[in-house]
Structure 1
Amino acid sequence: MFVEFGPEVPLDEIARRAGVGNATVYRHFADRSVLVREVVCSVMDRTSERAEEALAEEADAFQALRRFVHAAADERIGALCPMLSSAFDKDHADLDDARRRLEAQVEGVMERARAAGQLRTDIAVGDLLVALSQLTRPLPGSGCVDFDQFVHRHLQLFLDGLQTPARSELPGAAATLEDLRRPE
């Protein structure tokens, strides 16, 4: 529901879609911010697990990166951005833990591909996270209609651009995690 309608979707509608009474939702989640935080943490945790699996199961370093990126798209990681902009405690310990774990896993997948000489050296974790966020989020006004059919195609185009040898020099500097955390 959050992917389709954003973080402000009515809790009663979430309960209806889940097939439970609205009292059940309110009993498990004190308010919307708790539910949003739990959903964000759950998505980040599952995405971290996908990175761990890709590293453990793929012999080829770039294939592990490719597998992770597509798995992150399937987890709807791009839907987190609008949710993170909603009003809840972004510094909550559970959220910090999930974010740190995800960032460490993404860094690990990228470092392995970089060490194997398969990933451009002018790419940082922030570049990958920004691209994932942008390429997996439905376009405004699209209503999510069949958007998924394009996501993996566009991610593959992006991944092809990450491989070495680079075909061009990138403008500006690589986006680091610190760049993404800077307040506006």
Structure 2
Amino acid sequence: MTATAAPRAPKLRADATRNRERIITAAREAFVEHGADAPLDEIAKRAGVGNATLYRNFPDRSALFRAVVLHVKTRIVAHAEAALADRSDPFDALQDFVHAAADEKLGALCPMMSGRFDPFDPELVEARSRLEGTVTELLDRARHAGALRPDVGAGDVFVAISQLTRPLPGTTCVNFADFVHRHLQLFLDGMRAPAPSTLPGRAITFEDFQHHTDATPGA
């Protein structure tokens, strides 16, 4: 599938806006549960709209993918900003963000992000920039407070979130989702300073993570 860029949507009426938001929410749930090939008819049914309304808002699957990815990234930014504003303890703020971001099921949506969009799409670029800035601030605050080990980068956080929220193949592993937050806390405890060990390799940056999720398959 070739990368596509979408212009900023024109301002919609209130009822049209609600329909669009319901479609995006339903699509996110369907893609998490069934993958990128979830039937569009089922998404329209979940959203409580007709197929014509879905296609009027999103003329093809790529347009819907883009809207869902932008929606999720915007929500993750909001979680980071809330953690910065609500928590005085820097490591508590980081923990709050990681657990909230995991609930967005980023790992389940990673296959939708690879090679499907124009890397210079203005809205996606803006969302990436805000995400990188807020998460970097969370890490810097914890690091400057002496609570975060120095060899951890923003990409390490997103790799952990993505891997722990990525559905595993087969039917016997479906209940692993029940343990995501338990294992995220183990990961977070391992990020605390002082570090009991030296990590192999180097800290993963946000750019490293973004390169792998945005790369064209096979590149």
Q: What band does the TM-score fall into relative to the shorter chain?
A: over 0.9
Matched, 1:151 2:151: no
Q: Which of 120, 144, 147 is the aligned partner of 1:115?
A: 144
Match of 2:163 in 1: 134
Q: Is the 8 A contact 1:12 1:22 kept in 2?
A: yes
Deviation at 1:27, TM superposition (A): 0.7
Matched, 1:82 2:111: yes
CA distance in 1, matches of 2:84, 2:206: 21
Deviation at 1:50, TM superposition (A): 0.6
Q: Is the 8 A contact 2:99 2:181 kept in 1?
A: yes
Deviation at 1:142, TM superposition (A): 4.0
Q: Which of 60, 74, 84 is the aligned partner of 2:89?
A: 60
CA distance in 2, matches of 1:7, 1:78: 12
Mean alpha-carbon deviation: is it higher for 112-121 or for 7-16? 7-16
Residue 203 of structure 2 aligns to a residue whose secondary structure is coil
Match of 1:99 in 2: 128
Match of 1:167 in 2: 196
CA distance in 1, matches of 2:134, 2:172: 32
The structure having more radius of gyration, on CA atoms, is 2
Residue 62 of structure 1 aligns to a residue whose secondary structure is helix
Q: Identity across aligned pairs (percent)?
A: 59
Unaligned stretches of 5+ in structure 1?
Answer: none
Deviation at 1:178, TM superposition (A): 3.0
CA distance in 2, matches of 1:144, 1:42: 28
CA distance in 2, matches of 1:93, 1:51: 21
Q: Which of 19, 26, 29 is the aligned partner of 2:55?
A: 26
Deviation at 1:87, TM superposition (A): 3.0
Unaligned stretches of 5+ in structure 2?
Answer: 1-29
Residue 175 of structure 2 aligns to a residue whose secondary structure is coil
Alignment of 1:44-59 (within 5 A): 44-59=73-88
CA gap 1:144/1:94 in 2 versus in 1, 3 angstroms:
farther
CA gap 1:3/1:143 in 2 versus in 1, 3 angstroms:
farther
CA deviation profile, 1:18-53 (whole Å, cap 9, x unmatched): 222111110111211111111101111011011111
Q: How big is the alpha-carbon RMSD for the aligned residues of Structure 1 and Structure 2?
A: 1.7
Deviation at 1:148, TM superposition (A): 2.8
**How many residue pairs end up in the alignment?**
184
Deviation at 1:90, TM superposition (A): 4.0
Deviation at 1:123, TM superposition (A): 0.5
CA deviation profile, 1:58-92 (whole Å, cap 9, x unmatched): 11100000000000011222223111126343432
